[in-house]
Amino acid sequence: MDSIIYKVIFKAIQYMENKNLTLNFKNLGFKKPIIVPSRFLQELKILSEKSENILIFQNIEEVITVGNINSNVNYNYYLIILFTLKSGKDKYGYLIGNVKNLGDITIGIWPFNREVSELTPEIIIENYNNIINNPSDYSKICLISQ
C-alpha cells in the first residue's frame, strides 16, 4: 500500500505571517473506518470549560492529501486532537475527517514517524474514551477545528 500523508496547514498569526505552520499526519489505512464516539466532541467541550489544560480553537486553514489516493471520499471538515500524557510527556495526535452519512472518522496519526502497526481501531477508541473519562492523565489536550 502506498503511503498517504495529510499535510495540515494552519492559519498564520500576524507576527508570523511568512511562516508556514504545518503538521503532517500519516494515513491509518484501515479498511473499516474508525468512527469517533459521538459523545467525544461534546464532552470534550464541556470539560474544556472546567479545565485550563483543555484547549479548543479554530486554526486549520487547509488539509492537503499527498500520495496515491485510491479513495473518492470527500471530507466536509477536519479536526485535530492533540494530547500529551503526564506520565512520560509522550505527545500524540489524530486527524479526524467528517464524512456525510458516517460522521467523524479518524484518518491519520501524529507524530508522523509513529508506526501504524502499533495501533488498532480498539486502541484508538480506547484513547478517545480515556481522554474523556480520565482527563487528569493528560497535561494538555487540544482540539483544533477548521
**pLDDT tens, position by position, 31-48:** 889 999 989 999 999 999
The residue type at 20:
N
pTM of the shown model: 0.90
- DSSP letters, 65-95, are EEE--------S-EEEEEEEETTT--EEEEE
Locus of grid cell 482540539: 143
* H, E, C per residue of 94-131: EEEEEECCCEEEEEEEECCCCCHHHCCHHHHHHHHHHH
Half-sphere exposure (CA, 13 Å, Cβ side) for 30? 18
**pLDDT tens, position by position, 68-126:** 766 678 899 999 999 998 887 789 999 999 999 899 999 999 987 776 677 899 999 99
27/52 Cα distance (integer angstroms):
30
Contact between residue 77 and residue 83 where contact means Cβ atoms under 8 Å apart = no
